[in-house]
Amino acid sequence: MAQQSDIKILSDNRSAGHNYHLLDRYEAGIALTGTEVKAAKNGKVQLKESYAEVSEDEAWLMQAHISEYSHGNIMNHAPVRKRKLLLHRSEIEKLKAETREKGLTLIPTRLYLKGGRIKIEIAVAKGKKFHDKRESIKIKEMQSEAKAAMARRARQ
């Protein structure tokens, strides 16, 4: 069983937490070709504008950009393509039911290496309104100011 320290993050979607309220998270395998695996291990992955969807009882990762492998030949992969997510049937059914609800979508939050396999974390997310984003920024600033004040106090 892999421990938290056995995880190597290959790509992180930081904008997901800023643009969405992240609700449930799921770990999924992802079906990749050989050159995609090599490019992903080199960190050539962009998840910023990607999303996941459930169609025909299968989960798919859409719009994820995995750059072409630099040492690939004519059999190199297309950088943006539909990639299959490997989940249990019960998880797919649960995701299908959750995304039918208005305003919920599936957003990939990070791609990582766990036990020699590439995994992706997807979150059921609800879009934030503009005022929610301002509130999040305000809370983050207050927390950083409080942390800085505590650090100053500890130094004295």
Domains of the chain (ranges, CATH numbers): 4-128 (2.40.280.10)
- The kind and range of the H/E element at 120 are strand 117-127
Q: Residue ranges of the chain with pLDDT lower than 50?
A: 1
**pLDDT for res 98:** 85
Looking at residue 87, its pLDDT comes to 92
Return the DSSP state at 80: B
Looking at residue 90, its pLDDT comes to 92
DSSP 3-state of 20: strand
Give the burial string for 95-119 (b: 16+ CB within 10 Å, else e). beeebeeeebbbbbbbbbbeeeebb
- pLDDT of amino acid 3: 56
**Chain CA centroid to CA 12, Å:** 6
Q: Is 47 exposed, middle or buried (0-12, 13-18, 19+ CB in 10 A)?
A: buried
pLDDT digits (tens, 9 = 90+) for 39-63: 888 888 888 888 898 988 899 989 8
pLDDT of residue 77: 75
Q: How far is Cα 22 from Cα 9, in angstroms, rounded to an integer?
A: 19
What pLDDT does 1 receive?
A: 46
